[in-house]
Chain A
Amino acid sequence: MKKLWAASPLTYLALTLAVLLSITPFYFMFVVATRKLEVINAVPPPFTPGGDFGDNFQRVLDNEHAAFIYGLINSVVVSSIITLSVVFFSSLAGFAFAKLRFRGQNALLLIIIATMMIPTQLGIIPLYDMMVNFFHLDGTLPAVILPFLVTGLGVFMMRQYASSAISDELIEAARVDGCTTFRIYWSVVLPALRPAMGVLGLLTFMEQWNSFLWPYAILNADTPTVQVSLALLSQAYYTDYAQVFSATAVATLPLLIVFALFGRQIIGGIMEGAVKA
Chain B
Amino acid sequence: MFSRWDIKYSPYLYVAPFFVLFGVFGLYPLLMTAYMSLTDWNLIGDRSFVGLENYSALLVDEYFWNAVRNTFAIFLIATVPQMFLALFLATLLNRPLRARTFWRMLIFVPNVTSLAAVAVVFGVFFRRDFGIVNYFIGLVGIDPISWRTEQWPSWIALATMIDWRWTGYNTLIFLAAMQAIPKDLYESAALDGAGRWRQFLSITLPGLRPTLFFVVIISTIGGWQLFTEPLIFNGGGGAILGGARREFQTVAMYMYEKAFDNLQFGYGSAVAFALFALIVIFSVLNYLLVRRSVRN
A residues apposed to B, CB below 8 Å: 1, 4-7, 11-12, 14-15, 18-19, 21-23, 25-26, 28-29, 32, 40-41, 43-45, 89-90, 92-93, 95-97, 100-102, 105, 108, 111-112, 115, 117-130, 132-133, 146-150, 152, 155, 180-182, 185, 206, 209-210, 212-213, 217, 226-227, 230-231, 234-235, 238, 241, 244-245, 248-249, 251-252, 255-256, 258-259, 263-264, 266-267, 270-272, 274-275, 277
Contact = CB atoms under 8 A, between A and B. Distances in A.
Nearest to B20: A150
B104 A275 contact: no
Given A29-B117, A119-B221, A120-B29, A14 B236 contact: no
B205 to A, nearest CB: 15
Contacts of B176: 270-272, 274-275
Contacts of A275: 176-177, 180
B162 interface: no
Contacts of B26: 115, 118, 120, 123, 147
Contacts, number: 289
A185 B273 CA distance: 41
Interface residues of B, number: 104
A14 B85 CA distance: 11
Contact of B135 (A4, A43, A125, A212): A43
Contacts of B112: 206, 255-256, 258-259, 266
Given A212-B115, A252-B114, A255-B112, A146 B25 contact: yes
Contact of A45 (B3, B132, B217): B132
B24 to A, nearest CB: 8
A5 B96 contact: yes
Nearest to A93: B15
Contacts of A121: 225, 252
